[in-house]
Amino acid sequence: MASIFSSLITMILLLLLLGGEARDPFACDPKDATTKNLPFCRATLSIGERVKDLIGRLTLEEKISLLVNNAAAVPRLRMKGYEWWSEALHGVSNVGPGTKFGGPFPGATSFPQVITTAASFNASLWEAIGRVVSNEARAMYNGGMGGLTYWSPNVNIFRDPRWGRGQETPGEDPILAGRYAASYVRGLQGSDGNRLKVAASCKHFTAYDLDKWNGVDRFHFNAQVSKQDIEDTFNVPFRMCVKEGNVASVMCSYNQVNGVPTCADPKLLKSTVRGQWGLQGYIVSDCDSVGVFYAYQHYTSTPEEAAADAIKAGLDLDCGPFLAVHTQNAIKKGLLNEGEVNNALVNTLTVQMRLGMFDGEPSAQPYGHLGPRDVCTQAHQDLAHEAAKQGIVLLKNNGPSLPLSLRRHHTVAVIGPNSDVTVTMIGNYAGIACAYTSPLQGIGRYAKTIHEVGCTNVACKDDKQFVGALDAARQADATVLVMGLDQSIEAETMDRVGLLLPGYQQQLVSKVAAASKGPTILVLMSGGPVDITFAKNDPRIKGILWAGYPGQAGGAAIADILFGTANPGGKLPITWYPQEYLQNLPMTNMAMRSSVSKGYPGRTYRFYNGPVVYPFGYGLSYTHFIHSLASAPKVLSVPVAGHHHGNSSNISNKAIRVTHARCSKLSISLQVYVKNIGSKDGTHTLLVFSTPPSGNGHWAPHKQLVAFEKVHVPAKARQRVQINIHVCKLLSVVDKLGTRRIPLGEHSLHIGDIKHSLSLQALTLGITES
């Protein structure tokens, strides 16, 4: 009797904790005598044994019903239906049907958009955000309001500055994007061995970075990509996501790559993602991708061929109804067999079991205690605020005029279409935020404000409201203009047409700056870069901040930077190009490398050498840091196995194939002193770039980010930072055939204004047959 009473008390407490009804088991309910002792429900067996047993009990019709995102229930085995599609790009989102807000879960912590968080260059922050998001996701799952499979992060390369979805990505550098992917995924998925807290998915594989431009859309686009660019740019973040982040899923994209839809390409899915990289998880299509390559791209003649091609290529789950409708007929026609369907289910069911969905009561599992009180906690909201402060980039500070003074700047004119926004700050793929602090509200905590929008919205189609803005600027001790873009200008399905501020925004900024009694500060919200050359060169505009889309606490963070409570340390994760860069530059040209003969400028800081508004990695501080090398090797031997086969050699063109080098422990260590010679404490972003030896022709980028570290340095203090650089991964380049090689000779490492030469030399270990 006592034990029954104790169990009852425990259940009541759990119900109170979860804020209502606790979720019933997805499967394997311990109260259900018909299934609880079946092998697939026995947690003492290996997951492989359990999955095999479950698949053996399913009929073909049941199997096919599990191939889609809204997987059907299997009542006779007491398995509930499951919605696979949930999103958590920068917080739990209700974009996918698997998660909804309401009742005890009115919202979730909304962190800055990814492009902003990437500007922090802080891998530990990215992982911490992932941990918070997965806590809130598990809490919502336990409360029956969310799923456990989240199709995030987006780790595509921000190749073209016009891309509407560039805001979702960590920027233009493949190593930065890959580090972000691995860090955020680790935070989401947890560190409990094979068990998953939630299952993440890196998307959209691959060479996907065009939505709708000049009559070309993502559903019809065939990305023509060289082997060289695939290997050294587009695939790098995905490889790192799988190999270093151990992600549980990869999503294939809408577009074709070199004539083959990514979701029907066995070279990409089976050979690369699952074969070379060793994905332990499932491959999912972007939503309706299989239907798209049949109906829009006309890649196959019949829907059954499309279903068969996708599954044979390695697709395990279809976001959309296509496989549920056409797979059975594909089997009847002999295009596919049941064993290939089983292979797909092994991958999806294994992930569900790693999530604990077949382990009975959710409340009895490791994350079963999480509930409404674990969502929107003060600590979570404080992290969103901290992330915004770390991601904001100071682009200009003449005088210096920033930070503003509480003593001198009693009244601040707050002007602009983004000056009092809330939802704009959370960008796209967002949920419902816990609460908002707009820029106007944030600045209002420090000073008296005079508010004028100047333009009704970011389109800024006329100057009818300029008069009030000019009057406010004339009255105030300082003026802050909050301008830029929003989802009406850059978004999924909508790429930008140019890089200038929309409509009359530039005129508003210039006129207000001319009228302002005190210093004028320009704050920009945007995902992509904006050509603000006019503001950079205008002496009346004393300071410029880029805030990206800074999340629910964005206004508070902007104000903290403006008034010096926080010291900016963000760096641009993208190149800011002038408008002229776009002349004769179609978004559809996927080539990364420049071509003088074709008048093609190249893309990103790695391959473009022309004029910029602000370069990749740029960002100022309220203090000043200097670097010095404490220790760094000048020579490193690269062990390489001897090889002969006819006249070929492993050491050709003064470069070693990475596959022939002994790579496992081949790294260099730098010790760098960072000294803060200013008067304010600050956090410094230490970026290390490498330039390979000259003479590598079209193999090599101009320079490549190889390491970054975040270090807090008090005023007048010095910190020692260790930087480790894996030679094969980071000092290698890719030749025209897509082969990764380590160039021998003098590599230049750039750390701030320090340049260090490192000579790589081959050390032949012996002769072996190929």
> Would you please indicate which residues are annotated as catalytic (active-site) residues?
286
Distance of CA 571 to the CA centre of its chain: 16
Instruction: Give the integer Cα–Cα distance in Å for 548 and 545.
Output: 9
Helices 123-142 and 378-391 pack at an angle, to 10 degrees, of 150
Instruction: Give the integer Cα–Cα distance in Å for 327 and 318.
Output: 11
Structural contact between residues 281 and 250, judged by C-beta atoms closer than 8 angstroms: yes
If we measure between CA atoms, which residue out of 296, 225, 138 comes closest to residue 591? 225
Structural contact between residues 414 and 523, judged by C-beta atoms closer than 8 angstroms: no
Instruction: Give the integer Cα–Cα distance in Å for 548 and 142.
Output: 33
* Residues making up the chain, counted from first to last: 770
Q: What is the SS3 assignment for 504?
A: coil
Distance of CA 376 to the CA centre of its chain: 22
Q: What is the SS3 assignment for 137?
A: helix
The tokens for 310 are 């996708």
The tokens for 711 are 């270090």
If we measure between CA atoms, which residue out of 42, 21, 25, 39 comes closest to residue 78? 25
Q: What is the DSSP letter of 724?
A: E
Locate tokens 């911490």: which residue?
Answer: 128
Q: What is the DSSP letter of 392?
A: -
Q: What is the SS3 assignment for 466?
A: helix
The distance in angstroms from the start CA to the end CA of the chain is 74
The bridge status of strand 745-751 relative to strand 651-652 is: unpaired
Give every CB contact of residue 575 below 8 A, 6+ residues apart in sequence: 161, 172, 529, 604, 605, 608, 612, 614, 615, 616
Instruction: Give the integer Cα–Cα distance in Å for 621 and 393.
Output: 9
Kind plus residue range of the DSSP H or E element containing 270? none
The bridge status of strand 520-525 relative to strand 625-631 is: unpaired
Structural contact between residues 571 and 618, judged by C-beta atoms closer than 8 angstroms: yes
The tokens for 685 are 């972003």
Distance of CA 169 to the CA centre of its chain: 4
Instruction: Give the integer Cα–Cα distance in Å for 608 and 657.
Output: 26
Instruction: Give the integer Cα–Cα distance in Å for 270 and 718.
Output: 50
- In whole angstroms, how far apart are CA 114 and each of 125, 153, 186, 387, 497? 12, 9, 16, 10, 22
Q: Where are the alpha helices (DSSP H) in 222-263?
A: 227-229, 236-243
Kind plus residue range of the DSSP H or E element containing 583? none
